[in-house]
Amino acid sequence: MVEALINGLAAVLQWPSFGFILLGIAIGLVVGLLPGLGSGTALVLMFPFVFKMEPVQAFALLLGMASVVSTAGDLTAILFGIPGESDCAASVIDGHPMAKQGEAGRAMAASLMSSLIGAVFGGLVLVLAVPLVRPLVLSLGAPGMFMMGMLGITFIATLSGGDMLKGLLAGGLGLLLAMAGLDSYTATPRYTFGLYYLWDGVPLVPVTIGLFAIPEIVDLAIKGGSISQLGATKIGGVMQGVKDTFIHWKLVIRCSAIGSLIGMMPGMGSGVGQFLAYAHAVQSSKNRERFGKGAIEGVIGPGAANNSKEGGSLIPTVAFGVPGGLHSALLLGAFTILGLTPGLAMLRPEQNLSLTYSLVWTIIIANLITVPLCFLFLKQLVHLTELKGSILIPILLMLIYVGGFVTNTFGDMVMVLVFGALGWLMVTFGWLRPPLLIGLVLGELVEKNLFIAVDAYGGFGWLQRPIVMVLLAIVVIGVATPVYQRIKNPPANQSGGEAGWRLSYGALFSFGMIVVFAAALWPALSWPERARIFPIVIFGPLLVLSVANFIKDLRRRPWTESIKQAIDEAGIDEATFRKRTREILGWVVVFFLSLWLLGFPVGIPLATFVYLKLAARESWTTSILVTFGSWAFLVGVFGYVLDFLFPEAALYRLFSTVVPR
Amino acid sequence: MKLYRRFFSAALVLALTLGLSVQTTLAQTDEAAKALGGKTIRIIVGYSAGGGFDIVARVVARHLPKHIPGKPSVNVSNMTGAGGAVALNYVYSRGTPDGLTWVASDGALVLGKILGLQGPEFDTDKYPWIGVAQTESQACMVSTRLGITTAEQFLKSKTPIRIASTIPGDSVHIRPVIAAEAVGANFKIIQGYPGTADMRLAIQSGDADAACWGWESMKVTGADMLQRKEAIPILQLGFERHPDLPNVPNILDFPMSNDAKAMWRLVAGPGVIAKLFAASPGTPGPVLAALRKGFGDALKDPELLADAAKSKISIQHVSAEQVTQIVKEMNATPPELKQKVAKAARSG
């Protein structure tokens, strides 16, 4: 084993393997930093080049890239509030508020350090797991997967913050979104509104981008100035960030463990680990109120987890040929191309074990190079948060629309807009978004695996497995602890505002939730049995809870409360606040309409130009330069290099129907 | 004399037709070269990048240009949704009618359309098929834990055999269901697995006893499992035995009624047109003919075959005419049998 470890290292450090790692890192940095440039697409584009390579070199290139995208993607999440990669969304929640408070340097440094530790941890797990892999993964089965999913869902309560009721409802909304699509047991289309787009479920990337990035753009526009509200950004924060990681070293290790464990489980998906790590960071903290407002632990946790998952997810890939995540699914394709067969041969010292270990080394070395490299450029990156908001806004709007484009159909754009609106409403009315994402990423997993467990082992037979019982005990503790704590220390009365009954906008939004759950329940009643069990069992109680929440909201004025707070923060008067809100919401829609009518390459630059001249009142030079830049970026990078299938402009389609081709 | 004259006139007609047809072919190629030269063909794959279908499409795309008149460049894009139906529907209704927009999606969707399932929205007679790059020959893999060694034992088992599958209507679901009905096997189908890799893991973890999917993929991704005899191929679900598996019986080797046979032909048909390529309706005849020929030639190209072999992809060309014939036969299944299959495809 030791010999295989050394051989693996030697193979990676040899030229040209090492050169390929460097190339992989360079590509990974660009792909990670830019939202819209997904690492999956990048891997597929690199496939033709690995055809003629040796396995070690091919993986140096592919895995070298794949293992640093999250490291870089976290930086974009912190700086702009847009996740650079889909598994960096959790870093937005606390990372971006830190950037707004002028602590981008500290947040990025902490994220980088924890990424590095996470990557090394994930690599070590892969090494140590070799003898245990098979029994571990095989003992889980569908019953174990179901229980793991349930364990994750209990985190909804933890992430609900002060308002448990709203947290549960947000989690329920996530479960509702998870159920959208063809039900896997009866193939009944659920909540698809007759759209094929929704048959495969709600895609995670446009949802997270809409939910997190659009509210940040709105916020940036309302406050004016730059992302960093404090202007003078202390680069000295960097050292503090490094220290933070070591102060919270136990958290880093635990979140790394969560990341690798989730990564190890096939079918969990790349979205899960980061959010569970975030939830754990919240759960293990003494003062949870800081979270969502710039708590360093909220940056460290996901930072570690989304890097440690790489090592973890390679375990089932190497041992069974069953990928643990997006990257490993594609790397599995590379295995085939290179003529390798996943399985025991990859774990045997006399066969391919040293190649397996070279994968470990690639992950570790790629991050050992990338992290210090990023530290060198941290100062320049921090300065981005001092860029004028009015110039940044059209660029960010372009990035979110391009970034949401995952199924190559126009539906993606609608999702970004719809979830952007939902995200903004949730922020405005004091609803937390993380519970929604937990529900979304775990809902399908739980439902599918429960039915499989019941079918495979009959009734309750599946509950008798030891691993299931252990997990069940953890779930029970997970549910009971917050309930017990709440009974012991009831939260302070947060009625907010004077007592009395009034229908505020916030209460209206809460009323909307009643409508949503009632509307979700209604069609479910007529579905086949297996398709309706989950919706009825979940949305029935949630309907009751949503009514309770509405009544509670009638007693207070959350809209006025949060608006006051936001106005205070922005330092402007209420009229300006409302005017700016209306304007930026309008521009978000204008960009959407423009790209819908005119397509990406024309619509986005045009909207950018109009925004810069009319709203931002920039000079002709600046406007033309930025417009040209966005056009060149769209056409050059996405059109030419990536050969994007841009959706057809609606006007063109209209024209071609009126005037036949 | 009479005979001689008859022979002579026949030979003259033949020569004239041949000459004419050579000339028309040349003219057609010329026209196609004019229409396609310097352009870009875009193949829209109905599944995500890096998946099994996508890898096949990209291998084909790499070698396609030199076989098509005018040597257009060929790009691959992915448009996912509704199990590949979104891409098929898109190219059918919105593809450019010039031979430059292709779709690559699963022939199982043609069956879905014939059964009247939701999803595919096109006329199976009007889709200009280009051909098939790979057929799918399904096999069932059973765990050796059960001690089953013959297909008879597999089909006559008293205790239900738990078969992992994906979603109702998928070929990995519908074929075992109809097979069980045809020969009276005791299968318990467990739906809900995301894909074949997860089905394979289910056999290993003991969640399921068996699962059936394409042998070409099974022998690659399941190589380790087969090598270690954790599971063995036990039965084939197609029209005939795969050359790799001469000793594994096919379901048609077992006695079944004529109705059952007709139903079997309907559900097994998509296996022959699995990795299906098509252009958009309205593509001019000469261009379509050139594309079909180029596609067929590319699939015989030694360079393409070497590339495919390296990726462990098998290539089986099925021509557009054959596809049309198979689709026609599937369509001709008696309505009551179609309904029966449709019911099986819908039910959980």
Query: What tens digit of pLDDT does each residue of A195-212 get?
Result: 888 888 888 888 888 998
Pairwise CA distance, residues B72 & B290, whole Å: 12
DSSP annotation of A611: I
Q: CB–CB of B206/B145 below 8 Å? A: yes
A562 located within any domain: no
> Is A287 inside any structural domain?
yes
- Taking the CA of residue B20 and the nearest CA in chain A, the distance in Å comes to 32
Alpha helices in B65-221 (DSSP H): 85-94, 108-115, 151-156, 171-183, 196-205, 215-221
B188 interaction partners in chain A (CB closer than 8 Å): 455
Local structure of A195: helix, strand or coil: coil
- Count helices and strands (H / E) in chain B: 14, 11
Q: Which of B49, B118, B188 sits opposite A41 (nearest CB)?
A: B49
Residue among A141, A197, A408 whose CB faces B78 most closely: A408
* The two three-digit tokens of residue A429, written as one number: 């009315």
Decide which of A491, A514, A543 is a domain's last residue. A491
Is there a contact between A184 and B192 if contact means CB atoms under 8 Å apart? yes
Instruction: Name the residue type at position B111.
Output: L
Does residue A108 fall inside a structural domain? yes
DSSP-assigned beta bridge partners for residue B318: B132
What confidence tens digit (pLDDT) does each residue in A437-458 have? Answer: 889 888 888 898 899 998 888 8
B168: nearest CB among A186, A330, A648? A186
Do A484 and A511 lie in one domain? The reply is no
Which range has the worst mean pLDDT, A104-108, A479-483, A597-601, B108-112? A479-483
Higher-pLDDT residue of A336 and B297 is B297
What pLDDT is recorded for position A269? 67
Angle at A618 between CA A613 and CA A623, to 5 degrees: 70
DSSP string, A92-122: HHHHHHHHHTT-HHHHHHHHHHHHHHHHHHH
Radius of gyration of chain A (CA): 25
Q: Is residue A196 part of a domain?
A: yes
* Interface mutation target, options A62, A138, A196, chain B, most CBs of B under 10 Å: A196
Dump pLDDT digits (tens) for B300-316.
999 999 988 888 888 99
Please indicate, yes or no, whether residues A505 and A483 belong to a single structural domain of this protein: no
CA closest to A333 among chain B residues: B50
Q: Which of A52, A344, A452 to mutate to test the interface with B (most CBs of B within 10 A)?
A: A452
Alpha-carbon distance B132 to nearest alpha carbon in chain A (angstroms): 22
Q: Is the pLDDT of residue A348 over 50?
A: yes
Cis check for the bond before A16: say yes or no (omega within 30 of 0).
yes
> If you search the block for the tokens 């001690």, which residue do you land on?
B147
Residue A407 has its nearest CB partner, among B80, B89, B225, at B80
Residues A406 and A477 in one domain: yes
Tell whether A389 and A516 lie within a shared domain: no
Residue A195: its chain B contacts at CB < 8 A? none
- Which residue do the tokens 């209306």 mark? A582
Residues of B in contact with A187 (CB under 8 A): 167-169, 345-346, 348
How many domains does chain A divide into? 3
Residues of B in contact with A531 (CB under 8 A): 348
Choosing from A474, A491, A508, the residue where a domain stops is A491
Nearest to B224 among A267, A344, A530 (CB): A344
Mutation target to probe the B interface, by most B beta carbons within 10 A, among A52, A138, A199, A648 is: A199
Q: Are A203 and A407 in contact (CB under 8 A)?
A: yes
Q: What is the pLDDT of residue A44?
A: 79
Q: How confident is the model at residue A661 (pLDDT cuts 50, 70, 90)?
A: very low
Same domain membership, residue A511 and residue A536: yes
List the single residue in B81, B192, B206 with the smallest CB-CB distance to A196. B81
Task: Kindly tell me the sign of the dihedral angle through the C-alpha atoms of B275, B279, B280, B282.
Answer: negative
Q: What mean pLDDT comes out for the span A565-570?
A: 75
Q: Which amino acid is at A205?
A: V
Rounded Cα distance between B329 and B333, Å, is 7
Which chain A residues have a beta carbon less than 8 Å from that of B222? 321
- The reply to whether A190 and A54 lie within a common domain is yes
**pTM score, whole prediction:** 0.85
CA B102 – CA B96 distance, rounded (Å): 9
| pLDDT in the model for residue A589 | 95
- How far is residue B84's CA from residue A182's CA, in Å, rounded to a whole number? 13
Q: Is the pLDDT of residue A599 over 50?
A: yes
Cβ–Cβ under 8 Å, residues B141 and B234: yes
Q: What is the pLDDT of residues B173-232, one digit of tens each?
A: 999 999 999 999 999 999 888 888 889 989 998 999 999 999 988 888 888 889 889 999
- A397 within a domain of the structure (yes/no): yes
**What pLDDT is stored for residue A205 in this prediction?**
82
Secondary structure element (H or E) that encloses residue B213, with its range: strand B210-214
Lowest mean pLDDT among A32-41, A610-619, B245-254: A32-41
Q: Nearest C-alpha of chain A: how many angstroms from B158?
A: 17
From residue A528, alpha-carbon distances to A202, A525, B329, B348 in Å are: 22, 9, 33, 9
Cβ neighbours around B255 below 10 Å, total: 8
Q: Are B296 and B102 in contact (CB under 8 A)?
A: no
pLDDT tens, residue by residue, B258-279: 999 999 999 999 999 999 999 9
B311 → closest Cβ in A40, A200, A337 = A337
Torsion of CA A408, A413, A416, A418, to 10 degrees: -130
The minimum CA-CA distance between B42 and chain A, rounded to whole Å, is 9
Of the listed ranges A143-157, B13-27, B84-98, B264-278, the least confidently predicted one is B13-27
How far is A454 from A470, CA to CA, in rounded Å? Answer: 18
The two beta strands, B101-106 and B40-45, are parallel
Q: Give A-chain residues touching B161 at CB under 8 angstroms.
A: none
Please say whether the dihedral angle defined by the alpha carbons of residues A72, A77, A82 and A86, taken in this order, is positive or negative. positive
Reported confidence tier of residue B57, pLDDT bands at 50, 70, 90:
very high
Looking at the structure, do residues A469 and A378 belong to the same domain, yes or no?
Answer: yes
Same domain, A157 and A251: yes
Rounded CA-CA distance A644/A630 in Å is 15
Secondary structure class of A511 (helix, strand, coil) = helix
Instruction: Name the residue with tokens 């029970």.
Output: A476
Answer yes or no: is pLDDT of A559 > 80: no
The closest alpha carbon to B192, from B180, B181, B207, belongs to B207
Residues of B in contact with A344 (CB under 8 A): 224, 228
Mean pLDDT, residues A16-37: 88
Report the amino acid identity of residue A615. A
The per-residue pLDDT for A320 is: 81
Is it the case that residue B1 has pLDDT exceeding 50?
no
Higher pLDDT pick, B208 / A320 = B208
Q: Which of A322, A332, A530 to mutate to test the interface with B (most CBs of B within 10 A)?
A: A322
A173 and A220 share a domain?
Answer: yes
Residue A565 located in a structural domain: no
Q: Are A256 and A305 in contact (CB under 8 A)?
A: yes
> In the 8-state DSSP scheme, what is residue A286?
S
* Nearest beta carbon to residue A643 from set B58, B75, B89: B75
Residue A516's domain comprises 500-557
As a whole number of angstroms, the distance between CA A78 and CA A113 comes to 14
How far is the C-alpha of A140 from the C-alpha of A135, rounded, in Å? 9
Split at pLDDT 50, 70, 90, the class of A230 is low
Weakest mean pLDDT among A33-47, A147-161, A164-178, A491-505: A491-505
- Are residue A246 and residue A382 in the same domain, yes or no? yes
Instruction: Find the closest chain B residue to A531 by CA distance.
Output: B348
Mind telling me how many Å the CA of A197 is from chain B's nearest CA? 6
Q: Tell me, what's the ipTM?
A: 0.81
Tell if the CB–CB gap between B223 and A343 is shorter than 8 Å: yes
| CB–CB contact B50 A329 (8 Å) | yes
Chain B residues with CB-CB distance to A407 below 8 A: 79-81, 86
| Phi, psi (deg, nearest 5) at residue B189 | -85, 130
- H helices of A224-269, in order, are 237-247, 249-264
Chain A residues touching B169 at Cβ < 8 A: 187
Q: Is the pLDDT of residue B17 over 60?
A: no
B304/chain A closest Cα distance in angstroms:
13
| E strands, chain B, in order | 40-45, 73-78, 101-106, 129-132, 138-143, 161-164, 187-190, 210-214, 231-237, 275-279, 318-319
pLDDT of res. A419: 95
Structure letter (DSSP) for residue B250: B
| List of chain A residues whose C-beta atoms are within 8 Å of the C-beta of residue B211 | none
Check whether residue A412 and residue A545 sit in a common domain: no
Same domain, A486 and A536: no
Indicate the residue among A491, A512, A534 that finishes a domain: A491
Q: Please give the average per-residue pLDDT across B67-75, as a whole number.
A: 92
Tokens of A234: 């202390």
A142: chain B residues, CB-CB within 8 Å: 202, 207
**A332 within 8 A of A321, measured Cβ to Cβ:** yes
Question: In sequence order, which residues have a C-beta less than 8 Å from that of residue A116 and are 6 or more positions away?
Answer: A71, A307, A367, A368, A371
Mean pLDDT of A496-510: 74
**Main-chain phi, psi angles of B139, to 5 degrees:** -135, 155
Chain A partners within 8 Å of B168 (Cβ): 185-187
| Residues in B touching A645 (Cβ below 8 Å) | 42, 44, 77-79
Instruction: Write the single-letter amino acid at A247.
Output: I
Rounded average pLDDT over A526-539: 89
**Among chain B residues, CA nearest to A641:** B75
Mutation for A interface: B191, B204, B225, B226, most A CBs within 10 A: B191
How far away is chain B from the Cα of A337, in angstroms, using its nearest Cα?
4
**Average pLDDT over every residue of A284-312:** 88
In Å, what is the CA distance from A279 to each residue of A87, A91, A284, A304?
Answer: 15, 12, 9, 13
Would you report the helix, strand and coil content of chain B in percent, each value rounded to 5?
A: 50, 15, 30
- Is residue A493 pLDDT above 60, yes or no? no
What would the two tokens of residue A551 be? Answer: 């009544």
At which residue do the structure tokens 């010039």 appear? B98
Q: A120: number of CA atoms within 13 Å, CB side?
A: 12
Interface test with A, best of B205, B225, B304 (most A CBs within 10 A): B205
Checking if the pLDDT of B324 tops 90, the result is yes
Chain B residues inside the 8 Å CB shell of A44: 49-50, 54, 58
Helix (H) or strand (E) holding B173: helix B171-183
Contact A456 B224 (CB under 8 A): no
Chain length of chain A: 661
Please give the pLDDT value at position A476.
Answer: 87
In-domain check, residue A566? no
Cβ atoms of B112 and B120 closer than 8 Å: yes
Residue A470 and residue B222 in contact, taking contact as beta carbons nearer than 8 Å = no
Residues present in chain B in total: 348
Calpha distance A395→A391 (Å, rounded): 7
Lay out the sheet containing B101-106: strands in order across: B73-78, B40-45, B101-106, B275-279, B129-132, B318-319
Q: What is the pLDDT of residue B292?
A: 96
Amino acid A256 reads: S
Interchain proximity B205–A140, CB inside 8 Å: yes
The C-alpha of B82 sits at a distance from chain A's nearest C-alpha, in angstroms, of 5
Task: Read off the pLDDT band of A110 (50, 70, 90).
Answer: very high
Name every residue whose Cβ is closer than 8 Å to that of residue B109 and which is 6 or more positions away in sequence.
B83, B84, B85, B88, B119, B120
Give the position of tokens 């279908």: B53
Whether A256 is in a domain gets the answer yes
Q: Which residue of A has its CA nearest to B282?
A: A661
> Cβ–Cβ of B348/A48 closer than 8 Å?
no
d(CA A157, CA A166): 10
- Show Cβ contacts of residue A297 under 8 Å, excluding neighbours closer than 6 positions: A94, A248, A251, A281, A282, A284, A285, A291
Nearest by CB to A341, which of B51, B167, B223? Answer: B223
Chain A residue numbers with beta carbons less than 8 Å from the beta carbon of B190 are 452, 455-456
A contacts of B94 (beta carbons < 8 Å): 648, 653
Give percent of chain A with pLDDT exceeding 90. Answer: 30
- Cα angle B122-B127-B128, degrees, rounded to a multiple of 5: 165
Distance from the B236 Cα atom to the nearest Cα atom in chain A, whole angstroms: 23
**Does residue A77 contact residue A96 with C-beta atoms inside 8 Å?**
yes
Report the pLDDT value the prediction gives residue A291, as an integer from 0 to 100.
Answer: 86
Amino acid at B211: A
